[in-house]
Structure 1
Amino acid sequence: MELILRALLCNYFLAGIVSTYTLTDEKNLRTSLLTGYDKELRPGTDRTFPLSVQAAFFLFSINEFDLNTGKLSLTGLFKISWIDERLSWNPVMYNQTNATSFKQNKVWIPNFININPYEDIKGLGSDLISVRVSSTGHCDWFAIQGLEVICDADVTKFPFDSQYCTMKFFIWGYLPHEIDVQFNSSEAFLTLYQENGIWDITDSTSHTQLNFYGYEEIVIGLQLKRRTSYYIVFLMLPKIALTSLLGFVFLLPPESGERVGLSTTVLLSIVLYLTLIQDMLPESSEPSVSLIGYMLVSYVVSGAISVICVIFSLRFQSSCQKPVPGFIMSFVKFCRKREKSLNTVEIFDSKSLEMDENEDSVTWTEVGRLFDKTCFVISLIQLALTSTIFFSLAIS
């Protein structure tokens, strides 16, 4: 225990001795380093070797992703390190001054230029950011930045879509053999990331690549996956439940007089949903139109057909003096026999005998009821089939 206390005391006093430099010492150091310093010249005594630049990207937050305009707005930090031998010194000559800081406009920095900006082309950092320099000439530049880049969205599987967005940078004014950029990690660091309410980050990448002209690009890639819970609860389920009402319209008694009104109201509600989703999606059809758009259009078409079928059904069941056509009569008789064959118990009484005697007669009211049953079944099958196809294609 005594040895541990002695070691701690020795470290404490040594730290006090090492850190005894004053403001005057650091001022003299800065004056000496910047005298004759040309920030337009890149570091490196031997120009036959490229300057090694180490980089890492830390993502803080995703601020906005507008699918209509393709604008991705986020906040992140670049940690960039390099060796500038012109900024090295002997700490003994400056009372053990081991490190100092310079505004980034005072010393040379690798000028990262964003080459896929949403609006103006900007470089990293600002005059408020400093470069930390150690006595060995090691420079650390922590460039925090709000970035706005272009990301073309593929909304084919909306709201189950995933997007891959990239931020591309280029060190302007230097050839590939003059500066060599290397990332400390093949992925972006998410230790400081604040979760976004709409998008999840499933993967990330940070690397360099040569473009078509042979120049090196610095690329930060983010794989984004949409959070679907909100869209399922407040968009998909209400829309499917609303569309299912189209089939139940045919179960309303014709005497109620509400068939046309209900079917028209449901059709207008589906059109409203289509308008809301169109506002969320980009107008461009590249690479493909959203599947949910096709789904809603099919619902609109089925809604329009349902309104027409309701009108025909009411027409059938109204007082009509014209005889029932032969092909319709044959179909009704076939359905009548089919229904009888499914009954396992038959009651033989005077009423059933009368029905047997009149089984060859078919009225328009019976035609209308059979038409309603057929439309009801077809409507539910169409809804189930369309929804199943959409979910199978969107989730796959």
Structure 2
Amino acid sequence: MELFVMGLLYCSILFGMVRAYTLTDEQNLRTSLLTGYDSELRPGTDRAFRLDINTSFYLFSINEFDLNTGKLTLTGFFDTKWFDERLSWNSASHNQTNKTTIPQNRLWLPNFVNINPFEEIKGLGNDLVRVRVSSSGICEWYALQALEVICDADVSNFPFDTQYCTLKFFIWGYEPTEVKVNFMSANVILTLYQENGVWDIVSSTTYTQVNFYGFEEIIVGFHLKRRTAYYVTSLILPITSFSLLMGFVFVLPPESGERLGFSTTVLLSIVLYLTLIEGMLPEASEPNVSIIGHILVSYVVSGAIIVVFVILSFKIQSCSRRKPVPRFIVSFFKCCFEEKGKVQYL
């Protein structure tokens, strides 16, 4: 029984060795495939039929999202497949060679061009990327790229804001009747994604649409939500504490002389936080300025009013007791405490 098993194993190894193709086989195959191949012509013997391209987008990481410039940088790749009958062969004629890889610059590629770049317009892939070709003529292209795109930020709810950013592509030079892109997944594939420290991906979408000019747009969209724990502990809680402290300035005894210094110090602290937040937020935001910006401005204005009241209280305290109270102060308190024609004196 053991001899039978060993003999069977030996035959299988020997059969596998006989069927294995060599470097020379693959070289001959590549020469045969690329002889007379024109990479500027799209696949398809019958030009009346369009070429279908199947693709999926895999995201590796979100590298940076600068709200001031609207620059979103991420790394990912398109897993793209199509059929090119010029690259099919009979594997039996090439010592069972059933696949090979060819540099992308020697084959026809679906020319994905980014149309919302942050700086210069670029196509996908580079000379280091290779296309895997099978004997059936199926080409598989992993177009790895670090993409920099424009994403207009809406910081109305900062730091509890969510952003929607898109990658937009054309297959340049072809109409939808000639080349059609089909997404194999309705969402971005995140199996290789590394979490970002600032942003969470709430949802994603991938789809194509025909624009006003009749060209097909390939769109990859992300709904991003900011991680708020850092901003709550380092921003919201401190400024809320400062605003509460400002209200206790009148608890200090007037003779101590610390009211003015205390209120001024708290006011300067609020102004400092306002300066820090202004550095985080973009100068232009649609549709509105951040709510927290309005809150900080109100804190500054109220702090300034309290400082003025502290100065006035010192002024009134230093006045002679025989000097009558100014009429505008009397009128103010009468308006505040008047009820049904009667003045309520506290």
Q: Report the TM-score when normalising by structure 1.
A: 0.80
More strand by share: 2
SS in 1 for 2:163: strand
Aligned partner of 1:81: which letter? K
* Other-structure match for 1:323: 324
How has the CA–CA distance of structure 1 residues 244 and 45 changed in structure 2, closer, same or farther, with 3 Å as cutoff? same
Q: Is the 8 A contact 1:18 1:96 kept in 2?
A: no
Report the aligned-residue RMSD: 2.5
Judge which range, 17-26 or 138-147, deviates more: 17-26
Q: Pairwise mapping of residues 1-396 of structure 1 onto structure 2 (< 5 A)?
A: 9=9, 13=13, 16-17=16-17, 19-320=19-320, 321-324=322-325, 328=330
SS in 2 for 1:61: strand
Distance in structure 1 (CA, Å) of the matches to 2:133 and 2:16: 21
Q: Is the 8 A contact 1:63 1:74 kept in 2?
A: yes
How has the CA–CA distance of structure 1 residues 297 and 131 changed in structure 2, closer, same or farther, with 3 Å as cutoff? same
Q: Is the 8 A contact 1:239 1:270 kept in 2?
A: yes
How has the CA–CA distance of structure 1 residues 132 and 10 changed in structure 2, closer, same or farther, with 3 Å as cutoff? farther
Unaligned runs of 5+ in 2: 338-344
Tell me by how many angstroms 1:77 deviates. Answer: 1.0
Judge which range, 320-329 or 172-181, deviates more: 320-329
More helix by share: 1
Q: Is the 8 A contact 2:118 2:150 kept in 1?
A: yes
SS in 2 for 1:213: coil
Unaligned runs of 5+ in 1: 336-361, 363-369, 371-396
Q: Is the 8 A contact 2:153 2:285 kept in 1?
A: no
Aligned partner of 2:180: which letter? D
Q: Is the 8 A contact 2:260 2:311 kept in 1?
A: yes
How has the CA–CA distance of structure 1 residues 285 and 130 changed in structure 2, closer, same or farther, with 3 Å as cutoff? closer
- For residues 38-65 of structure 1, the C-alpha deviation after alignment (integer angstroms, 9 at most, x for no partner) is 0000001111111010000000000000
SS in 2 for 1:105: helix
Tell me by how many angstroms 1:19 deviates. Answer: 4.8
SS in 1 for 2:212: coil
Q: Which runs of 4+ in 1 moved over 3 A?
A: 8-15, 324-332
Aligned partner of 2:324: which letter? P
How has the CA–CA distance of structure 1 residues 171 and 10 changed in structure 2, closer, same or farther, with 3 Å as cutoff? farther
- For residues 302-325 of structure 1, the C-alpha deviation after alignment (integer angstroms, 9 at most, x for no partner) is 010000111122223334221346
How has the CA–CA distance of structure 1 residues 310 and 53 changed in structure 2, closer, same or farther, with 3 Å as cutoff? same
Distance in structure 2 (CA, Å) of the matches to 1:147 and 1:214: 25
How has the CA–CA distance of structure 1 residues 281 and 12 changed in structure 2, closer, same or farther, with 3 Å as cutoff? farther
SS in 1 for 2:105: coil
Distance in structure 1 (CA, Å) of the matches to 2:9 and 2:217: 51
Tell me by how many angstroms 1:148 deviates. Answer: 0.1
How has the CA–CA distance of structure 1 residues 196 and 11 changed in structure 2, closer, same or farther, with 3 Å as cutoff? farther
Aligned partner of 1:322: which letter? K
Distance in structure 1 (CA, Å) of the matches to 2:187 and 2:82: 20
Distance in structure 1 (CA, Å) of the matches to 2:331 and 2:181: 82
- For residues 322-381 of structure 1, the C-alpha deviation after alignment (integer angstroms, 9 at most, x for no partner) is 13468849969x99xxxxxxxxxxxxxxxxxxxxxxxxxx9xxxxxxx8xxxxxxxxxxx
SS in 1 for 2:282: coil
Distance in structure 2 (CA, Å) of the matches to 1:257 and 1:44: 89
Q: Is the 8 A contact 2:118 2:148 kept in 1?
A: yes
Aligned partner of 1:297: which letter? V
Tell me by how many angstroms 1:10 deviates. Answer: 9.1
Distance in structure 1 (CA, Å) of the matches to 2:333 and 2:305: 22
Aligned length: 334
| Same amino acid, percent of matched pairs | 65
- For residues 140-159 of structure 1, the C-alpha deviation after alignment (integer angstroms, 9 at most, x for no partner) is 00011000000000000000
